[in-house]
Amino acid sequence: MLATGLLLAGYGLIEVLWGYALVQFIAIISGYLASVAVLPRGIKPRPAFQQSVFMDIISFSSYTFLGNLVGSLVSRADKLLIGIVIGTEAVTYYQIPFTIAQMANGIIHTLVHIAFPRFTEMFSLNDRAGVLKLYRLANNLVFLLSLVIAVLLITVGDDFLTLWISAEFAQKAGVVLQVMALYFFLHSNTVVGYWVLQGAGQAKLTAFIAIAGGMAYFAALYYLGGKYGYMGAALALFFTLSATALQYIWIARHIGHSFSEYLGQLLAFFLGGYAVIYLMEYVNVWLSDHLLEIIVSAALALGLLVVGMWLLLARNGRETKELISVSNKS
């Protein structure tokens, strides 16, 4: 907001950069004061060194950094490899659908991140029942939100590309966007499990999953991209999920959310999503107008999201009351 205000007032790049520096300085001071305010009495906010704590931090951070590095390579170096293996033209038909689907699903990653400190606290208290309850609620909400996003991208993604770029581009990249929508639906639904593992201190496992998936992806990209072009490159993305079964196996063993329960949930949302897509496609054929299709589909999807969240939160509230009632009786 400050940068926008400075630009509208006629200031240049140097003033905008100083504005960024000012905002960061205020954030640091505010964060420090807020942190000091919540510290227990007797704890001083000054630097101290303890070797055991330091080694735990280094170990956790190193594996987390390694996993994030592989994820960054997959999401950035792939364009370079696509340009080398397939050609520079293919990068455009791949990158634009990828960016649209990635940005649409970015809100999920941002929202789920707030559950990480809560998972960490519950693990430190050995509250496995609380972890399972929070995991189920967050997982259901993420499934619902990612499904709504995927449905919109699949049903009106080509309409958006037609209005934004051209009908010719939409004809080539529309199917790629649909494949991306399906991939990000599956990928987004691994995020809650990732933060469960991180909260439990399993950074080594998350790093291994990322590395195994990254290696499988680059091998698939080389083969499928060379054979099927930018569509093959889009299909290769699914290989990044090749090792996520390890995540759900760990959760099943240590949290209690069985792998079969996850598969049932995945199947239920797939069938529900297919039914919604079929309905929206029928409505879109009747509307036969790109902008009108986007508006109507967005309204229907928003209604589905609101109703679904209300049902999930109401169900969670009933389960919480039942749990409290049982605890009081015992």
- Taking the alpha carbons of 271, 277, 279, 282 in that order, is the dihedral positive or negative? negative
SS3 label, residue 12: coil
Q: At what angle do helices 191-199 and 128-164 cross, to 10 degrees?
A: 140
Residues 6+ apart with CB under 8 A from 141: 309, 312
Q: How confident is the model over 105-137, as pLDDT tens digits?
A: 888 888 888 888 999 999 989 998 889 999 999
Residue pair 160/77 in contact by the 8 Å Cβ criterion: no
Give me the pLDDT at residue 319, please: 62
Give me the pLDDT at residue 328, please: 54
Residues 6+ apart with CB under 8 A from 2: 19, 20, 22, 23
Give me the pLDDT at residue 281, please: 87
Average pLDDT per consecutive 10 residues, the chain (330 residues; last block may be shorter): 89 91 94 87 76 83 88 76 74 87 88 89 90 91 93 92 90 91 93 92 92 91 84 91 93 90 89 90 85 90 89 74 54
Beta carbons within 10 angstroms of residue 85's beta carbon: 18
SS3 label, residue 220: helix
pTM of the predicted protein model: 0.81
Give me the pLDDT at residue 151, please: 93
Instruction: Provide φ and ψ at 305, rounded to 5°.
Output: -65, -45
Residue matched to tokens 């297919």:
274
C-alpha 51/C-alpha 23 separation (Å) is 34
Give me the pLDDT at residue 79, please: 74
**What are the C-alpha distances in Å from 5 to residues 21, 24, 218?**
15, 17, 44
